[in-house]
Chain A
Amino acid sequence: MKTLVWVEHDGGSVKDATLATVTAAAKLGEVHLIVAGQGVGDVAQAAAKIAGVGKVHVADDAAYANALAENVAPLIAELMGHHDAFLAPSTTTGKNIAPRVAALIDVMQISDILSVEGPDSFTRPIYAGNAIATVKTRDTKLVLTVRTTAFEKAAAEGGSGTVEAVAATGDAAKSRFVAAEKAESARPELTSAKIIVSGGRALGSEEQFHALIDPLADKLGAAVGASRAAVDAGYAPNDYQVGQTGKIVAPEVYVAVGISGAIQHLAGMKDSKVIVAINKDEDAPIFQVADIGLVGDLFTVVPELTDKV
């Protein structure tokens, strides 16, 4: 089987989510990549070094600069004329593009795969991860999004793919990128961090969230996450949200501070290796999944902890 993997990049380097997706694709067959963007020569060169990669298709054109689905989907649909499977990581970019590709080539997408059971069979979470479905498709081509925490990362070096330019399919002129408001942070990225400190509604305000969670995270070299309640209340930005409808994370250590442990939150972090919970309610559901729990008032516990680690 010939697979085509969407390379997630920031214009300069290949994002980690790509590496896990390559691992999933390699279970199906030959791995080819598509790098779409503007001025992405370096990205393509880097992508060609990923272990196990064959051809790297590069579509370098202004129309792909911001990965608008209206422009990118026709490009991939065309490449799917000679590929059997399209795989994208379950990032917001992957989720935006893949179903549009699926519709263009009349394939029912399988979202968020956790494992490859065979050439037409996959497992995926449903109901916020409270059930795992094994699905089999009768489509002759595959469109898959990949839950990146479920697959090991392919080695970023050691491959020797060949880079090949593909003709651009043009600007669909349906949509236009206007602006991005991206948080610049020196902290590790949430989805690839080894340690995460997350804060919940109990933090009470944006000021307290930053005053308590940030120093602990910085001391541990951790990324910062949040519950939906904390994001809705404006204590933390939207891209911090961990959960069923936010980011899915699986770090070595996840520290939940003042988070109750609603199923929608657990859906995003229960595959973490070690879960630490700090909550003043000893019956909080988070303690049912926590490896290490501390019952206490976060306003005294967290500063003390930050001091001592």
Chain B
Amino acid sequence: MKIVVPVKRVLDYNVKPRVKADGTGVDLANVKMSMNPFDEIAVEEAIRLKEKGAATEVVVVSIGEPKAADTLRTALAMGADRAVLITADQPVEPLGVAKLLAKVVEEEQPGLVILGKQAIDGDNNQTGQMLAGLLGWAQGTFASKVEIDGETANVTREVDGGLETVALTLPAIVTTDLRLNEPRYASLPNIMKAKSKPMATKTAADYGVDVAPRLTITHVAEPGKRQAGVKVGSVDELVEKLKALGVAK
């Protein structure tokens, strides 16, 4: 079984996003970019399934600027086998990404596609579910455990009330939650090896898919700021404050 893992290049999670003064977006010039953390978890899961013998090949895909090649190299250094870079000259929305991924799936015929549950920039939490809808496949979103059992994937999902387990008929889509695994760091020898692993480069146009955006971002603003309040000196003072709020009796 082949596994496809889409990975997105995003603003590093340690960087505090700054809204541009002209209200057109978030400043991404000269800031550290990294692989979306949920996608690192997805790559790790795919590699572990391969190490366990449940998968034969891990193919990573990214849609974005040419620099997304760096993100793909990171995935290759972690242990993915092969990469596909699809360049686009403007940001592609989740629906467009899902349509491109559906074409990749048609070509690659994977048994499983593992995506992040959300990208920490757009915070959309859509792409995996959309891909599943387009393909008519089963979906196991927000996964904290994945077990392959023949033609079935048993996926434990993190849901609002706790945990839920579903059995998916393969091929299927999985999206990762934080506690699925702890991704490995790429070792230096593996980073070197990754340089010679195959990476195909395509453009969105090669797939004949309409990825023109449906949405226009008309304005981006900073959220309302909270003011720091007071510091109290003792528990008694805190209790007084809570009483004033009607919280304590």
- List B117-150 residues whose CB lies under 8 Å from chain A: 117-118, 120-134, 136-142, 144
Interface pair B26/A180, CB less than 8 Å apart: no
Instruction: Name B's interface SS.
Output: mixed
- List A104-143 residues whose CB lies under 8 Å from chain B: 104, 106-112, 121, 125-139
Given A228-B178, A288-B228, also A102-B130 (CB < 8 A): yes
Q: Which of B133, B179, B228, B236 has the most CB of A within 10 A?
A: B133
Alpha-carbon gap, A238 to B143, bound state (A): 12
Interface pair B215/A129, CB less than 8 Å apart: no
Provide the residues of chain A in CB contact with B132, threshold 8 Å: 69-70, 100, 103
Alpha-carbon gap, A127 to B13, bound state (A): 9
Interface pair B165/A135, CB less than 8 Å apart: no
Interface pair A131/B221, CB less than 8 Å apart: yes
Interface membership of A165, Cβ < 8 A: no
CB<8 Å pairs between A and B, sample of 9 = A69-B129, A73-B133, A95-B125, A130-B222, A131-B26, A133-B217, A174-B169, A179-B165, A292-B238
Alpha-carbon gap, A309 to B163, bound state (A): 34
Interface membership of A155, Cβ < 8 A: no
Alpha-carbon gap, A294 to B163, bound state (A): 35
Provide the residues of chain A in CB contact with B122, threshold 8 Å: 126
Return the contact of A103 from the options B129, B167, B239 (Cβ within 8 A).
B129
Give the interface of B toward A (CB within 8 A): 11, 13, 16-17, 19, 25-26, 38, 93-95, 98, 117-118, 120-134, 136-142, 144, 154, 157-169, 172, 177-179, 213-223, 226, 228-232, 234-239, 241-242, 245, 247-249
Interface membership of A206, Cβ < 8 A: no
Return the contact of B248 from the options A125, A132, A220 (Cβ within 8 A).
A220
Contact pattern, A 163-200, Cβ under 8 Å of B = 1, otherwise 0? 00000000011111111111100000001000100000
| CB-CB nearest in chain A for B228 | A288
Given A111-B124, A292-B232, also A136-B215 (CB < 8 A): yes
Return the contact of B235 from the options A103, A127, A238, A301 (Cβ within 8 A).
A301
Provide the residues of chain A in CB contact with B164, threshold 8 Å: 66, 177, 179-181
